[in-house]
Amino acid sequence: MLRLHTETACRRGGALSLRMRDLDPNQCLILLREKGDTVRWQSVSPTLMTHLQRHAWSR
């Protein structure tokens, strides 16, 4: 989770609101919903995308 914040500079709420459908592994993008109803697509590294998917599948 620390890597998510380092790569994307997202807020805690943005990280906590991530869902599987917010991950686009083909383009290495995540959909962030943050404070003030801000919604944005953020690019991430392939390594982070892999870790996010593994984390979601294990939960």
Distance separating alpha carbons of residues 44 and 8, to the nearest angstrom: 7
| 56 part of a folded domain | no
> How many CB atoms are closer than 10 A to CB 18?
18
In this structure, is residue 14 part of a structural domain?
A: yes
Task: Give the pLDDT of residue 39.
Answer: 93
- Provide the mean pLDDT of the chain: 91
> For the whole model, what pTM was predicted?
0.83
Classify residue 29: in a domain, yes or no.
yes
The percentage of residues in the chain with a pLDDT greater than 70, rounded to a whole number, is: 100
Which pLDDT score is estimated for 11? 87
Q: What is the pLDDT of residues 31-57, one digit of tens each?
A: 999 888 889 999 999 999 999 999 888
Higher pLDDT, residue 26 or 17: 26
* 51, part of any domain: no
**Residue 59 lies inside a defined structural domain of this protein:** no
25: containing domain: 2-46
Count of structural domains within the chain: 1
